[in-house]
Amino acid sequence: MPQELNYLKETPSQTAGPYVHIGLAPGAAGFDIYDRELGWDIAGPNAKGERIRIEGLVTDGTRSPVKDVLIEAWQANADGIYAHPEHAGNIEDGFRGWGRAITDFETGKWGFDTIKPGPVVGHTGTVMAPHINLWIVARGINIGLNTRLYFSDEEDANAADPVINLIEWEKRRQTLIAQRIEQDGQIIYRFDICLQGDDETVFFDI
């Protein structure tokens, strides 16, 4: 036997199960326990940029809505800077860049309010189009699914995006594009996530 490398192995994932809300969004589960629930303040009142709402539905392989999903979002600010010590740049007070949304138990609809992120410099110095990183967990999902939400009104930037262009199947690229709608003066991006099937959303191994 050769020498051992002595790395530890990552803890195996398990499904978040049907009651994920108890732990991560207890108010939604029907009881108040914390003074402050985390994840409802992606972009505080001081955040720069266009105020937007993200809305959607998660569907399964039968096109039925999945009503027990929890989605986390991670995004840069309007200047394309993440609120993290490894990313140099100014972050306005109260911009967190991270949020959590759960689906309505009756309809499966989910949504969150934030600001539209700016473009971010990517792996090899190329510029990534504005995007929000999403992580999806639920009963039946054994390991969290990573995807990205891009914006329909960023056509040129999307066409040059190094991650979108990694997807060889061009028809699948559109599954990552949220559609801009203006409704009663509010900017809404509609982003439906399909877990399985021909029009399945692209998921990443990051």
Partner 1 sequence: MTPNGEFYQRDREWQPPAYAPDYKTSVTRSPRYPLISLQNSVSEVTGPVFGHNDIGPTDNDLLSNYAKPGESPIGERIILHGRVLDENARPIPNTLVEIWQANAGGRYRHKKDSYLAPIDPNFGGCGRTLTDENGYYHFRTVKPGAYPWRNWVNNWRPAHVHVSVFGTAFAQRLITQCYFEGDPLIDKCPIVKTIPDPNAIERLIAPLDLNASIPFDSLTYKFDIVLRGRRSTLFENRLEGN
CA pair distance 131, 161, nearest whole angstrom: 10
CB closer to partner 1 out of 90 and 183: 90
CA pair distance 115, 43, nearest whole angstrom: 6
Block residue for tokens 């699948």 = 172
| Least distance CB 109 / partner 1 (angstroms) | 17
CB closer to partner 1 out of 19 and 181: 19
Q: Which residues make Cβ contacts (< 8 Å) with residue 170, sequence separation at least 6?
A: none
CB closer to partner 1 out of 21 and 116: 21
**H-run or E-run covering 110:** strand 109-115
CB closer to partner 1 out of 49 and 99: 99
| Least distance CB 90 / partner 1 (angstroms) | 15
| Least distance CB 205 / partner 1 (angstroms) | 4
| Least distance CB 183 / partner 1 (angstroms) | 29
Among candidates 87, 71, 70, which has minimal Cα distance to 79? 87
| Least distance CB 53 / partner 1 (angstroms) | 20
Structure tokens at 123: 């792996």
Long-range pairs for 81-84 at CB < 8 Å and ≥24 separation?
A: 81/118, 82/120
Q: Which residues make Cβ contacts (< 8 Å) with residue 138, sequence separation at least 6?
A: 15, 16, 20, 58, 66, 68, 69, 70
CB closer to partner 1 out of 31 and 182: 31
Q: Could you tell me if 47 and 94 are in contact, meaning their C-beta atoms sit under 8 angstroms apart? A: yes
CB closer to partner 1 out of 49 and 117: 117
| Least distance CB 185 / partner 1 (angstroms) | 30
